[in-house]
Structure 1
Amino acid sequence: MKISHNITWHHSSVTKKDRHLINGHKSCVLWFTGLSGSGKSTLANAVDRALFHEGVRTYVLDGDNIRHGLNSDLSFRPADRKENIRRIGEVAKLFVDSGLIVSSAFISPFREDRELVRQMYEAGEFIEIFVKCPIEVCENRDPKGLYKKARKGEIPEFTGISSPYETPYQPEIVIETDKMTIEQSVENIKIYLKNKKIL
């Protein structure tokens, strides 16, 4: 994507560090990735609520919600999936710059796309959370009935069925939602944030 030569980046008079100081915590993106039905949105919202109740400034970006608005013009073909993730990376970066901890819950199936997003951030600001769950369990959950439709061929390019999901090589955090409770999962993420002195 080419950037016009007729635009100039304007630096804010209030810096990200200024916002960290007034918030009492650093900012980052918690990038939840995993199969449909693995529990990404549920976990992202649980983390968001737990941090919010501790006075942390937070926000959740959810895949389905974003496709209702900002990315409503995109399909699920590979090129559009790539653009979907690029846009989300840019939006999440704005939230991080504003001093928030933003939880981003997207399948984001391709390693290359996730790595391109990681490169948008300063070191330590992009925290990849692999929400690991066997596809059999995800299919049994099937909260939106998508796997049934995919198996019938009604949904083309469905991740895990007719389109691949590329497991992260070295995620910062792995949460196995078929083995851990929501409470345990949230606590593990909070411990990571505290150990990294983000909280």
Structure 2
Amino acid sequence: MKSKNITWHSGHVQKKNRQTLTKNKSAVLWFTGLSGSGKSTLAVEVEKKLFDAGVLSYRLDGDNIRYGLNKDLSFRPEDRKENIRRIGEVSKLFVDAGILTLVSFISPYQTDRNMVRALLEKDEFIEIYVKCDLSECEKRDPKGLYKKARNGEIGQFTGIHSPYEEPDQPEIIVETDKQSVNESTQQIMKFLKKNNYI
């Protein structure tokens, strides 16, 4: 049920004021890809590079968010959509706060990723496709999830039972089955510098 008797309450301090304070643009770096592709690993590395460069950033990880904010959601399609909607709204708040926000979620559906992009202003959503062949992701299987999915212990698993829709036009594509973590991290950092985010 939608709230009806509400009004947005604006303050004196705006996003542009916060960006002046932090000395960087705020935006969402949205890492999407299969489980095991390296989304979280890359987000951690980019966050450290940003921190070392004095850039205010924060990382929102799919698994971490399910410990709190989204702990009431399953992996059914409707709950996956709500999972992304909520993190999209949280990301929007972080961007308004002047923070470069790193989001690593499988986010398998293009419509859901587009929904988040639509929440933000132009150039505030940087879609990073962490591309990795399914066979390589299965080989890595850092959490043992592919094995469980193949054994029937996990249903609706992306890449096995549920589809993953590759991004239509991502701002960045890193191929983690061909590039090292360092190479992928450097590629992302170069994009941010070239486009004046940092």
Q: TM-score, normalised by structure 2?
A: 0.98
Q: What's the CA shift string for 1:36-95, capped at 9, x where partnerless?
A: 000000000100000001000010000000001100000000000000000000011111
How is 1:1-199 mapped onto 2 (pairs within 5 angstroms)? Answer: 3-199=2-198
Q: Which runs of 4+ in 1 moved over 2 A?
A: 2-5
Residue type at the aligned position of 1:163: S
Deviating more after overlay: 26-35 vs 14-23: 14-23
Pairwise CA distance, 1:3:
3.7
Q: Secondary structure at the match of 1:68?
A: coil
Gaps of 5+ in 1: none
Distance 1:25 1:49 in 2: 16
Pairwise CA distance, 1:111:
0.4
- Root-mean-square deviation over aligned CA pairs: 0.8
Pairwise CA distance, 1:23:
1.0
Distance 1:42 1:198 in 2: 21
Q: Secondary structure at the match of 1:128?
A: strand
Q: What's the CA shift string for 1:3-62, capped at 9, x where partnerless?
A: 422011011321110011111111000000000000000000100000001000010000
Distance 2:12 2:180 in 1: 43
Between the two proteins, the alignment pairs up a number of residues equal to 198
Distance 2:177 2:111 in 1: 26
Residue type at the aligned position of 2:74: S
Gaps of 5+ in 2: none
Q: Secondary structure at the match of 1:127?
A: strand
Deviating more after overlay: 12-21 vs 60-69: 12-21
Q: Secondary structure at the match of 1:131?
A: strand
Residue type at the aligned position of 2:5: N
Q: TM-score, normalised by structure 1?
A: 0.98
